[in-house]
Structure 1
Amino acid sequence: MATNENLPPNVIKQLAKELKSLDESPPEGIKVGVNDDDFSTIFADIEGPAGTPYENGVFRMKLLLSHDFPHSPPKGYFLTKIFHPNIATNGEICVNTLKKDWNPSLGLRHVLIVVRCLLIEPFPESALNEQAGKMLLENYEEYARHARIYTGIHAKPKPKFKSGAISESTTALNVDQTITNMDQKNNTPSGGAIPLPLAQPLAPSATATRGGNNQDQPATAVPTVEIGISGSATTPASATTQKKEVGLAKVQADRKKIDARKKSLKRL
């Protein structure tokens, strides 16, 4: 087993760069951990892919880097017991990427993604677990049942969101939506105070029943408001007074015209 002391400096630099990338943007369903003093052992928690017998389980695995890495491939092992054709009872992983198809240019990200894909599509032709391989070929339902049993017993449950946090977030969202709806209905700015006339309860005598089920209750008549010439609101009584005043002024003006004509005729 290699350590940071006997790994070449360029390999350590490349591994540090890859591990930082895996930490900042991990592959889907994979979380990587490592000992800063020993890059020769890479740990990863892999979520069982949806639609497989490994769904809802988290499986821990490790990659062991040899002293001449990356010229030779790492060895992969599942630390969590799993029923899979290409994973031996001791956890050893059999995949071509880690054997004949290895290329020094392949990074850790590629290796981890291939291992997770192995949970989606096993290869029973190159089985390390003969029982699982034979069962997969002859009776998939029985194979899936065994795999689910192993997942339920040995795999760590997949973490779920806390219902309390979701409930709190949903409640806050509903409150915000309600306020927004009220603002739009009342034509008030978002987050602003409700206008005072709407906030104050109306007196019972001034309330009219409109379109409700209590049709027997008489609606209180609302006086019509008219706008005067000056722009101020006036009641029907004041409007009548204004009309009389306008009529009187018109009569007086007509009288003045008649008087003026009489004077003109006398002069003639």
Structure 2
Amino acid sequence: MALATNENLPPNVIKQLAKELKNLDETPPEGIKVAVNDDDFSTIFADIEGPAGTPYENGIFRMKLLLSRDFPHTPPKGYFLTKIFHPNIATNGEICVNTLKKDWNPSLGLRHVLLVVRCLLIEPFPESALNEQAGKLLLENYDEYARHARLYTGIHALKSKPKSKTGAISESTTALNVDQANTTVLNIDQKNAVSSAAVSSTPLSTSTATTKGGVISQDQTVVGGPATGMVGGSVAVQKKEAGGVAKVQADKKKMDARKKSLKRL
């Protein structure tokens, strides 16, 4: 951040302010955003978010601090540039708070001043009111005071962006969909496993032996398409083997007959 060359502030004050403003930029106070012209540190601007639970909620109020050449020995003067209905803020925007008057201390920094001003929006002090109407309503009829303050907030304050949880909901929904998808895959895998177990436990073929006229015959029932060829092949082999046995027996009978004929010769 470049040092200001404003003649209204001494060089040592400008140097100290540069450090403070850099710190405010890097670690801003909650609900406060500071802006400044690098060439003129005599006017500090800040946007203050209306604290939650107050009539100023959801509004952003712009203010400024005016620093004199005697700063920090004399306190800055504070003004609200945004119209606001508040006991300690005059209709011209001037801020009345003890920190900027009798309780001022040169060791107090800009951060402290800005936090005190924001605290005024949370806890006004009607005893030292600059806006008599607001101070009287606050003491006698808070609901009416709050209604006026909300009305001013809705009309004059900048609208703050609500802190949405859409991203979190989307992430939760995505996670839920992923879990459901995993559950579906798991169910499909379980069904496939059950089906595989059922197929593997089912015999490919069953045979039933019956006796008809002293001849054993087999009826084979095929289970499942892929096993049909295997069963058919088995039947063919059995038939071939039966034919071979019959041929051997016939050849044996012929040999026995020849042997008998040779004995006769």
**TM category, shorter:** 0.5 to 0.7
1:23-172 matched pairs, under 5 angstroms: 23-161=25-163, 166-167=166-167, 170-172=169-171
- What do residues 132-187 of structure 1 show as CA deviations (whole Å, max 9, x unaligned)? 11111111111111111111111111112568xx35x644554456557877x79x
Write the distance in 1 (CA, Å) between the matches of 2:142 and 2:170. 45
Question: Runs (4+) of structure 1 moved beyond 2 Å?
Answer: 2-6, 160-163, 169-183, 205-208
Greater share of residues in helix: 2
The equivalent of 1:248 in structure 2 is none
Q: CA deviation at 1:4?
A: 2.5
SS state at 2:151 partner: helix
Secondary structure at 1:34's aligned position in 2? strand
Q: Percent sequence identity over matched residues?
A: 74
Which of the pair is proportionally richer in strand? 2
Q: Answer yes or no: is the 8 Å Cα contact 1:3–1:40 preserved in 2.
A: no
For structure 1, list consecutive stretches of 5 or more residues without a partner in the other structure: 187-193, 209-219, 225-268
Query: For the Cα contact (< 8 Å) 2:80–2:93, is it kept in 1?
Result: yes
Residue 195 (structure 2) aligns with: 206
Correspondence for 2:201: 223
How many equivalent residue pairs? 199
TM-score (norm 2): 0.66
What is the distance in 1 between the residues matched to 2:134 and 2:19?
38
Partner of 1:43, secondary structure, is strand
Unmatched 5+ stretches in structure 2: 203-265
Say if 1:179 and 1:120 are closer, same or farther in 2 by CA, change over 3 A: same
1:8 corresponding residue in structure 2: 10
Which structure has the bigger radius of gyration?
2
Deviations 1:55-100 (A, max 9, x none): 1111000000001100100000000000000000000000000000
State the distance in 2 between where 1:123 and 1:45 align.
22
RMSD: 3.3
Q: TM-score normalized by structure 1?
A: 0.65
C-alpha contact (below 8 Å) 2:58/2:162 kept by paired residues: no
Distance in structure 2 (CA, Å) of the matches to 1:78 and 1:174: 44
Give me the whole-angstrom Cα distance separating, in 1, the residues matched to 2:121 and 2:56: 7
